[in-house]
Amino acid sequence: MRKLLVGMSLLLLLAGCNEREKVSTYSMTDNEQHQHEVEQLFEKDPEVEQANIVVIENELFVAMQLKPMKKWNRKKIEERWQKKLEKQFSDSTVNVSADFKMFWESSKLMDEKDQHKMLQELQHLKKLSKEET
């Protein structure tokens, strides 16, 4: 009985320490290579804890969550990623945000099934990302 209890508690501990997915992507485009390039860029960056990427034809919306000690340089990191993505994907409109609300809203947006509503919400998110609080 004691071995069973120790085994079960070990399994619970390991399940709780499971790593979450670093990059989530929602794509409405035929260009799979474009999507994979962006995913690989964010997976390699040690400053980014998680990122939500929405790719729609010629638009790229990125909402990211930074590591705790990197949040002090949020604006610089946003600007650096904005320039980097605009340079690499010059044919796309790029929006980058490291604001937690944008990350949270984009997570909800990625669960949306209705394509028309999703496009409206994306336009709303882009407006919100340009606002300063």
Residue 93 in any domain: the answer is yes
* pLDDT, tens only, 56-87: 878 888 999 998 888 888 899 999 999 999 99
| In-domain check, residue 1 | no
In the DSSP assignment, the letter for residue 20 is: P
Q: What is the pLDDT of residue 93?
A: 87
In a domain, 112, yes or no: yes
Whether the per-residue pLDDT at 133 is higher than 60: the answer is no
Domain count for the chain: 1
- Read off the CATH number of the domain in which 85 is found: 3.30.300
Question: Is the whole model's pTM more than 0.95, yes or no?
Answer: no
pLDDT number for residue 82: 92
Distance CA(29)–CA(89), nearest Å, equals: 14
Task: Write out the residue range of the structural domain in which residue 107 sits.
Answer: 21-130
**Token pair belonging to 27:** 């794509």
pLDDT reading at 8 higher than 80: no
| Selection from 33, 67, 30 nearest residue 47 by Cα | 67
Average pLDDT, the chain: 81
